[in-house]
Chains A and B, each alone.
Chain A
Amino acid sequence: MLKNKIDALLYQVEKPSRYIGDEINSVNKKITEETIRYGFCFPDVYEVGMSHLGSHILYGVLNNIDDVFCERVYSPWGDFEEILRREGLPLFTMETKSDIKEMDILNFTLQYELSYTNILNILDMSSIPLRSKDRGEEDPIIMAGGPCAYNPEPIAEIIDFFSIGEGEEVMIEIMDLMREKKAHKWTKDEFLSRVAKVEGIYVPKFYQVTYNEDDTIASFGPISQEYPAFIQKRIIEDMNTAYYPSEFIVPYTDIVHDRAMVEIFRGCTRGCRFCQAGMIYRPIREKSKEVIVETAKKIIEKTGYEELSLTSLSTLDHTDIKDTIFKLIEEQSKDKVGVSLPSLRLDDLAIDVLHEIQKIRKTGLTFAPEAGSQRLRDVINKGVTEEDLEKTLSQIFNSGWKRVKLYFMMGLPTETFEDLDGINDLGNKATYLYKQVPAEIRKGAVSVTLSTACFVPKAFTPFQWFEQNSIETFREKQFYLKDKITNKKVKFNYHDAKTSMLEGVFARGDRRLNEVLITAFEMGCKFDGWAEYFDYDKWLAAFEKHGIKFETYTRGRAYDEILPWDFIDVGVRKDFLIREYEKSIKAEVTPDCRGNCVGCGINIDLIGRDC
């Protein structure tokens, strides 16, 4: 049995507990002829994959269906992969240690572009052909979903079909068709042509694309009238009644987010112009305080977690957030369960909430002003003012915190060196504000970390037409700021511009990238998001082999150009995005749209009511 062989090899690998499976709340089912075997693949290591909330939700949705058995698949770390390949063993599922090739369907969740080579590696480890067209009836059907599926084209020749939007409901519809496929012995194509008519499903082989001489797209559309010209994303209407698991799988090993997660709403009303999540996850849909508190209680009971985290975009925007947090803390402190929040906005509410949280557990503080100057924060519509920042920093220092991390982006539209100076100024301001705190409160030295990421324009944002900064420009800006920051209490971190370049290429890429990706994989690229694996030279060689330049995809674009993702309908209209881009150049802000509709289109086009 494969299981015995794998168990015997675990003596030789780093951190074997991430491969053993059988965690509390993991599911095991009896497998019969009728069982739909489903492999849920997260193309990164266990510690990363297990931290992803969406996977836990869909694992529950799928295993709640009697005749569906959903098992998990992760990328093994390099040492284990080498051993498996040497021993001639395939990649396996966590639950039953079956060859992933035995699954009826494999679903890849696409959380970041730099995980694409790991998809290929997962297929390759079980000898599944990489290209959709090369796979036979005996190979599993390969599907994909998640945020990167909003621009599916760069992997459209690898994946058989994509699910666009939220998966809780559509997954059940897909399983209904899988059941029929098995019962009626449909061929893969018979299945695909049916699934293509399910709302939110995109089957690339039924769509055709042509190009102009200048590398832009000339036409894109279905090959036949029977397939929809636009794929509308799926959403869950009511979060209060939507499925949410309480029996989360509890890992043995330390994972990235090792805590109970309670989702409190979907969508965001802030309208930050750089933020893809803020656009594609519209409209805003909240869970009520009662549902949140009840869900939290159940999860803690079933998992034994010692920490609970509320998750959503801009978490403190929940209408009832203060009462919800106070109630949770009241309920959970009896059992010594800590409550934590993801990155916060720097405003008054944050302070109130932090005071409350501090009673149980003291957490490190991370804030994201995103840009150093007020002008640039207006450009990106990050509605935080200089005054907010000062007030909040001063208050947290006065409450006893001394370590703060501030996140920024570099390479935003209209950015100048003065805007970069603003990042340094904020670091200095923070250490100055710390010195103003009465000595009896101050404990030790302040530590401020300024962390800058390279801005990558994403599909469906107002900046989707913007030209991404070149590697050289990013470097110049990074070195400029590095020289500028001389304050000993301030640490400066920045991202590698090369990985951001590659991310940018795939984020706005088209179908021609499929072959480049396969070539890069064949040259040995994998784990591109991991510094110890990322090999820029191999990527350069792969692009060169196909005569494709990075700039073809990172360039600025005209409003009338056909974009590779135009056929996907996220509910936010293109004219809204253009309006927002125009306003951004003039540093004009758009207010939060809660109770003050700014006309993005989601209410008319997708939900047919007010948000």
Chain B
Amino acid sequence: MIILRLKYKKEQNMKFLSHLELIKTVERIFRRMQLPMVFSQGFSPKPKINYAAPLPVGVSSECDYLDVELTEKIDIKELIETQGPYMPKGLTFVEGKYFDKTKSLMSIVTDSAYLVEIETQVAYEKAQVEDLVSKFLGMETIEYQKLNKKKKLKTIDIKPLIQAVDLLAVQDKKIIFKVLVTTGSNGNLKPEKLMELFIEKMAVDAVPMKEQYKRLSLYARDKNNKLIDLFEV
């Protein structure tokens, strides 16, 4: 098997594409590039393209990954250098690497880093926010309740899913964090949920943000549970 793993950026207005729209757009990009793709059998053959972790509509990403299966190797450097005319503004392939076989991208992703921003009603001091963050992370459990599929209330603790919350800046009425959260088959925490609970539990005077955040990177973990790049898996 020839699997080409590509790292891409989804920025500017491309953030408004839903995951399904992205899938269609990428298939058409590869078709225009005449990439030698492997197709599924049957009446409606589909190229074999897999994605790491779908993004909600409105969220941009500096680092996402996809795998595409090819019938023969193509020059990755050339693909990156000549992609211009084939790409819509805001979508860019950054880097690529070949794999012989691999587990699905979706199953190897463990963590993602996001840049998030909340707007507060009053201006906070940096020290004040630092204090709130450490108090928040110091809580025994960070719980909320949610209706499950059987319409029963279920309590969910997000604490084990929070890997890190770094305060980057406090400017006027804006607080900017970099967060690292669990992503993938071992649990999934959305940054907006994290911020919603931070605002709620710490009684921050702010409106919960919507999907206005940015994905910075995706990671897997090695045997020693150390974060690694998806190209190093």
A-to-B contact residues, CB < 8 Å: 7, 10-11, 16-17, 20-24, 250, 252-254, 300-306, 335-336, 338, 358, 360-362
5 new A-B contacts, CB < 8 A, other than A17-B18, A335-B31, A361-B44, are A10-B13, A10-B58, A11-B212, A303-B28, A304-B30
Name A337's closest neighbour in chain B (CB-CB): B31
Which residues of chain A have C-beta atoms less than 8 A from B89's C-beta? 22
What separation, in Å, do the CA atoms of A17 and B58 have in the docked complex? 10
Q: Find out whether the CB atom of A16 lies under 8 angstroms from the CB atom of B57.
A: yes
Contacting A252 at CB < 8 Å: which of B24, B47, B86, B212?
B24
Which residues of chain B have C-beta atoms less than 8 A from A24's C-beta? 28, 32, 86, 88
Q: Find out whether the CB atom of A301 lies under 8 angstroms from the CB atom of B32.
A: yes
Which residues of chain A have C-beta atoms less than 8 A from B138's C-beta? none
Contacting B27 at CB < 8 Å: which of A10, A306, A338?
A306
* Known A336-B45, A361-B43: A23·B88 in contact at CB below 8 Å: yes
Could you list some 12 contacts between A and B, CB below 8 A?
A16-B58, A17-B57, A24-B28, A24-B88, A254-B20, A302-B32, A303-B28, A303-B32, A304-B27, A306-B28, A336-B39, A338-B44
Name A300's closest neighbour in chain B (CB-CB): B31
Assess whether B211 is interfacial by the CB under 8 Å rule. yes
* Known A11-B211, A23-B88, A338-B44: A16·B16 in contact at CB below 8 Å: yes
For residue A212, give the distance in angstroms from its CB to the closest CB of chain B: 56
Q: Find out whether the CB atom of B45 lies under 8 angstroms from the CB atom of A304.
A: no
For residue B108, give the distance in angstroms from its CB to the closest CB of chain A: 28
Q: Find out whether the CB atom of A7 lies under 8 angstroms from the CB atom of B43.
A: no
Assess whether B120 is interfacial by the CB under 8 Å rule. no
What separation, in Å, do the CA atoms of A495 and B89 have in the docked complex? 42
Name A21's closest neighbour in chain B (CB-CB): B13
In chain B, positions 27-64 with a C-beta closer than 8 Å to chain A are 27-32, 39, 43-45, 47, 57-58
What separation, in Å, do the CA atoms of A305 and B27 have in the docked complex? 9
Assess whether B188 is interfacial by the CB under 8 Å rule. no
Q: Find out whether the CB atom of B16 lies under 8 angstroms from the CB atom of A20.
A: yes
Which residues of chain B have C-beta atoms less than 8 A from A254's C-beta? 20-21, 24
Contacting A253 at CB < 8 Å: which of B21, B31, B88, B211?
B21
Assess whether B17 is interfacial by the CB under 8 Å rule. yes
* Known A16-B58, A252-B24, A304-B28: A7·B210 in contact at CB below 8 Å: no
What separation, in Å, do the CA atoms of A10 and B212 have in the docked complex? 11
Assess whether B25 is interfacial by the CB under 8 Å rule. yes
Contacting B16 at CB < 8 Å: which of A10, A23, A301, A303?
A10
Which residues of chain B have C-beta atoms less than 8 A from A358's C-beta? 43
Name B28's closest neighbour in chain A (CB-CB): A304
Which residues of chain A have C-beta atoms less than 8 A from B39's C-beta? 336
Q: Find out whether the CB atom of B25 lies under 8 angstroms from the CB atom of A362.
A: no
Which residues of chain A have C-beta atoms less than 8 A from B16's C-beta? 10, 16-17, 20
Which residues of chain B have C-beta atoms less than 8 A from A361's C-beta? 43-44
Most chain B C-beta atoms within 10 Å of own C-beta, residue among A17, A254, A300, A360: A17
What separation, in Å, do the CA atoms of A335 and B28 have in the docked complex? 12
For residue A4, give the distance in angstroms from its CB to the closest CB of chain B: 11
Name A301's closest neighbour in chain B (CB-CB): B32
Name A333's closest neighbour in chain B (CB-CB): B45
Which residues of chain A have C-beta atoms less than 8 A from B44's C-beta? 338, 361-362
Which residues of chain A have C-beta atoms less than 8 A from B45's C-beta? 336, 360
Q: Find out whether the CB atom of B57 lies under 8 angstroms from the CB atom of A250.
A: no
Which residues of chain A have C-beta atoms less than 8 A from B43's C-beta? 358, 360-362
For residue B118, give the distance in angstroms from its CB to the closest CB of chain A: 15
Which residues of chain B have C-beta atoms less than 8 A from A253's C-beta? 21
For residue A254, give the distance in angstroms from its CB to the closest CB of chain B: 8
For residue A365, give the distance in angstroms from its CB to the closest CB of chain B: 14
B 175-218 binary contact with A (CB < 8 Å = 1; else 0): 00000000000000000000000000000000000111000000
For residue A416, give the distance in angstroms from its CB to the closest CB of chain B: 43
What separation, in Å, do the CA atoms of A75 and B31 have in the docked complex? 31
In chain B, positions 133-173 with a C-beta closer than 8 Å to chain A are none
What separation, in Å, do the CA atoms of A7 and B58 have in the docked complex? 11
In chain B, positions 86-108 with a C-beta closer than 8 Å to chain A are 86, 88-90
What separation, in Å, do the CA atoms of A336 and B89 have in the docked complex? 27
What separation, in Å, do the CA atoms of A318 and B39 have in the docked complex? 32
Q: Find out whether the CB atom of B21 lies under 8 angstroms from the CB atom of A304.
A: no
What separation, in Å, do the CA atoms of A20 and B18 have in the docked complex? 13
For residue B28, give the distance in angstroms from its CB to the closest CB of chain A: 3
Most chain B C-beta atoms within 10 Å of own C-beta, residue among A23, A302, A335, A336: A336
Which residues of chain B have C-beta atoms less than 8 A from A362's C-beta? 43-44
Q: Find out whether the CB atom of B28 lies under 8 angstroms from the CB atom of A305.
A: yes
Which residues of chain B have C-beta atoms less than 8 A from A300's C-beta? 31
Which residues of chain A have C-beta atoms less than 8 A from B18's C-beta? 17
Q: Find out whether the CB atom of A304 lies under 8 angstroms from the CB atom of B212.
A: no
Contacting A304 at CB < 8 Å: which of B13, B17, B32?
B32
Which residues of chain A have C-beta atoms less than 8 A from B32's C-beta? 24, 301-304
For residue B144, give the distance in angstroms from its CB to the closest CB of chain A: 23
What separation, in Å, do the CA atoms of A22 and B87 have in the docked complex? 10
Contacting B13 at CB < 8 Å: which of A20, A301, A302, A338?
A20
For residue B208, give the distance in angstroms from its CB to the closest CB of chain A: 14
Name B30's closest neighbour in chain A (CB-CB): A304
Which residues of chain A have C-beta atoms less than 8 A from B57's C-beta? 16-17
What separation, in Å, do the CA atoms of A254 and B230 have in the docked complex? 31
Name B20's closest neighbour in chain A (CB-CB): A254
B 1-20 binary contact with A (CB < 8 Å = 1; else 0): 00000000000010011101
What separation, in Å, do the CA atoms of A303 and B25 have in the docked complex? 10
What separation, in Å, do the CA atoms of A301 and B47 have in the docked complex? 17
Q: Find out whether the CB atom of B31 lies under 8 angstroms from the CB atom of A17.
A: no
For residue B205, give the distance in angstroms from its CB to the closest CB of chain A: 22
Contacting B31 at CB < 8 Å: which of A11, A304, A338?
A304
* Known A11-B211, A304-B32, A336-B45: A17·B88 in contact at CB below 8 Å: no
Which residues of chain A have C-beta atoms less than 8 A from B88's C-beta? 22-24, 252
Which residues of chain A have C-beta atoms less than 8 A from B86's C-beta? 24
Most chain B C-beta atoms within 10 Å of own C-beta, residue among A250, A304, A336, A360: A304
For residue A24, give the distance in angstroms from its CB to the closest CB of chain B: 6
Which residues of chain A have C-beta atoms less than 8 A from B47's C-beta? 336
For residue B89, give the distance in angstroms from its CB to the closest CB of chain A: 5
Which residues of chain A have C-beta atoms less than 8 A from B24's C-beta? 252, 254
Closest 4 pairs (CB-CB, A-B): A304-B28, A304-B31, A304-B32, A16-B16
